[in-house]
Chain A
Amino acid sequence: MSSVKQEYNDRPTDSRIEWLRTEVWESYAPYLLIAPAIVFLLSVVAYPILETFRLSLYQSPTNSPVETYVGVEHYVTILQSEIFYQLLWQTGRWVAVSVMLKTVLGLLIAVHLNQEIAGRKFFRTAFLIPWGIPYAISAVVFRWIHHPQYGSLNAILLELGLISSPIGVLGNPSTAWFGAVLADVWIGTPFMAIIFLAGLQSIPDDLYEAAAIDGAEWWHQFRYITLPQLKSVILIATLLATIWTFVSFDVIWTMTRGGPMNSSATLVIWIYRVAFDQGSLGEAAAYSVIGFAFLLVFAVLYLRLYTRGGESL
């Protein structure tokens, strides 16, 4: 590098200006070219995050037009409140169970749809339908299914003699969250299935043929060929599903509003309630920042786990 520069330095002055110009252009041109994209990203990604963080340091009470700086007071209040830990547990439970069910069911459906079965095209389309229906509408339908008086769930259970009087899944603090999970799984499974199906189709058939010749059973083929080959797809899909489920609002809000007794509320439901029901934007922003931090930590740990030993995704 230095010898090249030396060579340039030996040239007459006008060439040196020329050289400088080229040097500057070559150094800055890439930045100039990507500047619009950076401005765009900063405005839609960085600004909302920073603004949320700024807002979380202010008191924005219901009865005052003025924002008052309160520092980390909101964070202290939140961390000292019982409801926060209840929300953490409920959010974790909601995400873990929902994502796990979506992944397992999605995988089962994908494996089935990847085989030569009658009506395969029909089923592939049919399985996508739940994903295409707006979340809130699906949630309303599920609310009706769970309805103690008019819902089909109770009608079936009563008919089968499994219960003697109607039960209200969404009215019971210990089951309400699971009622919402069922709806969320119904809505979200098709996405997982389609992504997994695409992954399955990219696995070369000769791997299975070779395994079959070696005498590998179906289960062994699944365990030693399908799963490892699908690893990166499963990772992406579950990461996305986790983020979506974590921030999912429509289903819980439409079905239970986080109740009864806040038993089905997650962090996101609480953020909405604090911001718009109780009118405290500052505290809601603090909850948002905490939620964001959790997702960040989760993503980093998740990626660490899967990229251990220098292996890329």
Chain B
Amino acid sequence: MTHNNPGDGDGRINRRQMMSLFGAGGAVAIAGCIGGDDPRSSDGDIQFLTMGVGDNIEEFFEENNAAFEEEYDVELDFTSVTWDNAQSTLNTRVDGGEAPDVSRLPARWIPEFAGKEALVPLDEMMEGEFGDRFYEGLVESNYYDGHYYGAPWAQSNKCLYYNKDVFEEAGLDPEDPGLDTWDDMLEAAIEIRDNASTSAYGLPANAALETGSQYYHYHWSFGADLVDDGSPVVNSDEGVEALSFYSDLVQDHEITQPSPLSSSRQDVRRLFENGDLGMVIAHVYAGLNIEDSDQDFDYGIVQVPEGPAGRYNLSTVDSLVIYTQTENEDLARDLFRFYYDEERRFEYSQSKGFLPVLESVADRDFFTEDENWAPFVEASEYARSRPKIPSFNEFNNRVVTAIQEAVGGEKSAQDALDDAQADLEEILE
């Protein structure tokens, strides 16, 4: 059929043709929704998949991958995906029988992939000399259902940054900020709100993972927990108290940047790095970024404040794992040994801004003496991980909705957490 001119009365499309057009569109849509692509690019001897390899670390991998290829006389197929796509990529590849041989992944995904029997248990390695070199807590974060499924690859935790110039403007003592507890933090923030020209405190509440990862500091330090013996316990009295305190920062005290619900973790970090924020809870790289930039304000770093039940620091551990679909398990173990070489680990932590996972690396002066790094090394003392449950994402998404409801003033902390608790009980059933 000729249909050169869409407006031409003769070039009409009949109903059947329309339906077939629609059918194709619909099928593509559906396939696009749940289908996956095959990202396996080439078949090297061993495939190594990792995430978020940016400019600062690209060279490190290029050089070391080449060195590995030469040392073992093999071909290494190295892929980096963005963090946004990481989980779907790994799930699709594992489910599709196209898993990489080795990959990095956050330790909290281990229950999910171990549950699919997709990961090789690494008990022998982690219980032996190889495993002894790591911090014990980090090794434990890879333990699930009786086995060690990964080796800690990177860890991150957070500290409270404050802008000394803003503190001075607000009449606070920049050298002795007194930010030990949440109440101290709130007091300082109120002073900044009233006397300085920038927002006092950065509170991100837009995307799921980071909204939870900021709030959980409060939740735990007020004595609340997320899961107890496999059951959700988010709406305990302590939890309600924590979320009330947290949402009051926005609703009652108005000490945060405008519109926390549209701010991501990156947004508030950027605000602080630009000198437009009094305080923020952030990773080590916020400080490293400021050092590298031409910003000329002074900042200080203290521990995440303490609550009535103590001080907790959300620690995130990424691990290196081997997939059961591999046909090169020995070579995969060689890749482990290669990349866990002490010098390589030192170079990696230094350039990426992740805390060292090997004790011998963390003990080096580079980390213990540096004012940007030392507080974060100390923060490991207060480390606490997210709960290990297979449906953590679904769980976290639901809690985050409750946090957003309270922070956005849609519901009281009590109502938001009660509703979340009811839904979480179903999720964890």
Contact = CB atoms under 8 A, between A and B. Distances in A.
A285 B116 contact: no
Contact of B7 (A200, A272, A279): A200
A277 B393 contact: yes
Contact of A261 (B14, B15, B115, B408): B408
A261 B30 contact: no
A167 B261 CA distance: 11
B95 interface: yes
Contact of A62 (B115, B261, B271, B408): B115
Given A172-B259, A247-B32, A49 B27 contact: yes
Contact of B6 (A165, A232, A247, A268): A232
A259 interface: yes
Nearest to A170: B262
Contacts of B88: 272, 275-276
B62 interface: no
B24 A168 contact: no
B408 A146 contact: no
A44 interface: yes
B212 to A, nearest CB: 13
B363 interface: no
Given A148-B257, A281-B34, A313-B12, A229 B7 contact: yes
Contact of B405 (A170, A261, A313): A261
A259 B401 CA distance: 9
A148 B112 contact: no
Q: Is the interface of B mostly helix, strand, loop or mixed?
A: helix
A247 B259 contact: no
Interface in A211-264: 229-230, 232-233, 236, 239-240, 243, 246-247, 249, 256-257, 259-262
A146 B13 CA distance: 42
A63 B34 contact: no
B33 interface: yes
B257 A149 contact: yes
Interface string B251-271: 000000111111100010001
A167 B34 CA distance: 35
A87 interface: no
Interface residues of A, number: 72
B27 A236 contact: no
A195 interface: yes
Contacts of A46: 27
Q: Is the interface of A mostly helix, strand, loop or mixed?
A: helix
> How many of chain B's residues touch chain A, expressed as a range?
35 or more
B262 A279 contact: no
B262 to A, nearest CB: 3
Given A168-B261, A303-B18, A243 B26 contact: yes
Contact of A313 (B14, B30, B95, B112): B14
A265 B24 CA distance: 25
Interface in B103-161: 111-112, 115-118
Contact of B259 (A65, A148, A289): A148
B6 A312 contact: no
B280 to A, nearest CB: 13
A260 B34 contact: no
A53 to B, nearest CB: 9
B34 A261 contact: no
A296 B30 CA distance: 12
B149 to A, nearest CB: 13
A57 to B, nearest CB: 14
